[in-house]
Structure formats: C-alpha cells, structure tokens
Structure 1
C-alpha cells in the first residue's frame, strides 16, 4: 500500500546533524511514509550517508535529490514538484520527528480527511520536550496561521499540508543572486481559503543551529533584499494585524532601498502607508547595515 505522507528534508552541509533526523525516523512506530531529502548543493558527505541509509533495512522508502545551492525556498519548490503522496511535512536536517508522530498524523488525517482542510497543524518542542511558544487552546478545533498568531499564539508550529493544496499556489519566486524568500508566502495564500485542523501534539523536536538563517537575519536582509521586499508586499496584502502592517511597510521600504528599487511606492499594495513609512524605513535601512556588519 502506497504511503500517504512524505516527510521532506531540505539540507545544506548538515551531514553532522541529519543522522539524528534519520534515527528519529527509524524509531517511529509507524513506517508508512516516504523520506525525501532535497540536498541544496552540499559539499560535505551528505550524499554518501544517504546512499548508506538507502541500503539499510530502515522500514521506509528514502528518496534523494541533489540540486545546485539556491536557498531553502528553492528546495521546497523541488520537493513539491516531486512529492506524489497525499500529505507532506517538512522537517529540517537538524531536527527530529517526535516519538510516535507519524502515527498521530495519520490517525488524525483518517478522522478529518473528508473535511475541507488544507492539512494539519501541530506543535514543535525543543530537544528536551518543552513546547516552543504556546500550545493550542483545548476548545480550538481548527485555525489558520494568521488567526492563531493574531489571537495571542506564539512559537513555531509544525505544518502538514495536503500536496494538492500546496501545489495549487505559485511556487516560491527566485531572485537572481539571492537565496531567501519566506516560506510563509505559500502559507499566507493558503490561509485566505482554507483552515488547518489542530493536532495538539508535539510532532517535531527542533534544534536551532547558531549558524542557521534565524541567527543571521540581519545579514539575510542585506543579502536578499528583493526576496524580503516580495514577502513584505504579500504581508501587506494579507496583514496579520494593523500593528504588523506598519512593521511590514517599514521593512518593505528598507528592503526596497537595499535592493535599489526606485519604483517601490508604485509597486506597493499600500501606497499611502508606504509613503508614511519612508522615515522609519530609512532608519531601519541604516540599522540593518550596522547590525549586519556586527555579525
């Protein structure tokens, strides 16, 4: 019987951590899934490790795709093009699938698959089992990402999407010379039409690496201004809140100046607010330059 879940892992030079991910998959009490590894141009021994694992009796199918380095969002694009199961979930190459998570996902999906959900939203925890941010209110059945955070939610959450829904929306854009576009782009679009069914269980144990993108965000702003400006425009079209809209406009101005885009006011979906945000955007531009040099 063909699995209905693909767990995909974008990776770049994580041979020293991806073995932990593999071990967590081997320990699952349900092996009805495919593990798809998208290697984003690694120069370490990741490919040799994967070849070794494919020859082991791990109980699940391993697929491996190597591509030129292009950033996390391009790895997601390749993953979505190659997933042929009903559901998919991303896990980073320095994280672990929580004990029993696959069975919990499949059991939940069996109960709600005939309802018009985009998928399932579950919890992340750290490696010690402490929930990242907040768990879900006990009486909450479903939500969108926007609604969850707008109503006081916090912390990263694990998303299990229907593959047909995730592929209904455009792929992440690629900007020449840049390596970052927010993964939230697709999620924000999905939010406008679909909800996610809540699974109030830990699905992934996460370990943030010091050299990961979240730890070097100031440099990311400088290196990928077009990608960030694109994301800010999407966020301005579908804002999380009024307060967040102002923040996104300010970042949009800063990102646009960084990218050398003189037409950013014309291209803005919120022209009036963008004009009002120019002073704060200029300040943020100089702060970003300063912070990036300090890292």
Structure 2
C-alpha cells in the first residue's frame, strides 16, 4: 500500500526558517527536506492519525490507541469477510504494519514497460444485460475441478472456501490445518474458522492462464457461493476486476488473460441468497 497515492493524503507545506541552520544529517522523506528524519516527523504522524480516523487503516488498529483515543469494537472498519491480511494476526504485527505505512512515503516503484496491463472496452460488454449491478462471479479450477459460483470480492481480505463445498471436493476435516485467524462479516460478528487448506487455483485459459496456491479459510456458513477470492490473491495476480464489464483481467507471459463472469449464475446466486431458509440453494460444483 502506498499512501502517497491516496486522494486523501496531503503533502506538507515547505519547512520554514533558514535552510542553512537545519540539521543536514537528517532527512525527512515526507517534507523532502533536511532537519529531522522521517520516523520522527510529527506532521507525518498527524497525517497518519487523520487517515486512520477516516477509516483508511481501521482494521489494523483494533483496540489500540489512535491519537490519544482508544478505539473500541464499535469503531472498527472491518471489510466484509474481513480477516487476517499480510499484516498477520498479532497486535505487534499490525502495529508494525502501521509503522511501515509511515515509512514508505517516497517515489513509487517504476513498472516495467514490457509488462502488459489489462484494459477494458466495449467488446467486454458483449452478451451482458443492462442495466446491471451484479457482482463478479467466475468459474476457476480449484484443485482439479472447475468450480462455478466463485465470488471475486476485493472487499474481502481472505480467501474463503465454504465447508460443504470442501466436503463435496472429497476432503475431510482431518486434512485442515488449525487456524485461529478471526474473520468478521458486515455486522462485525466473528465467524468461526474450521481450519485452512492450500489448494491450487487456475483462472483463464491456455495460453493465457495463471495458477497460484491459495490458502483457503474453511468456514461453516450457508452461502450461495462455493468460494470467495479476496483481494490478497487479486493483488498477487496483479489482476484487475471490473464488475461493470463482468471480467477479471491479469497479465501473463503471453499477454493479458481473463476470467469472464457468468451473469446468469450471478443472478441465480442472488435469488438463492434471498431464500427464507438461507441455505443458499447449493447444488453440484
């Protein structure tokens, strides 16, 4: 995460005073000037606290002091299916991540010119029914089996596999590794994780496909989806999802690959989610 790219991030005004009288042995990357170092920059810390209060880093500051005020559970800004991210699950690891955010202000890394980045256009809209506000649901290969009803959700910080799908794949609970990672829903109620399992996931089609190992958190909850692909994996693939175009695109060695969304299946999932019995209407993968 590079906070200098955030539209709410504000760079400071130039330092006042005689430049010749400043401590030239210390340099602040935030002010881009000498006199003090970045880690001890009061202005930068104030800006970070401001962004935290705006909810930019709320999921990393649960129960911690922020600008002299303690955040309680009601002030959390957990994402849907929020859970552990690259920060880890301990308080110290999350505090370290916030400190890292404060130290990365600088020039963004340059992207290789040879890297092909996804673009979207009118051809991607062919076959879609409008108006629409459907989520992106794709059919990747999980393990060795194509699975329909996999939700691409960049609001989720973890990859989730629902327990009934896990069982239908031929696995059992003894194959899960223990996981104490907390996962929260919209109502901030913690969802119990049965365990975790690593499975290969392939999206796209040859010769423009991508395969990665996903660490799925298995949960026992009713859902119209088989699995949820969170933003951690989306970022790892350098993928760009577009719900408007109903497609997930990602760079490969052979050009830009894509996983098209299934609009019909998306709406079936939506109707199933509204069923009074809340079973999700699961059928075969």
TM bucket normalised to smaller: under 0.3
Radius of gyration: which is bigger? 2
TM-score of the aligned structures, taking structure 1 as reference length: 0.24
TM-score normalised over the length of structure 2: 0.24
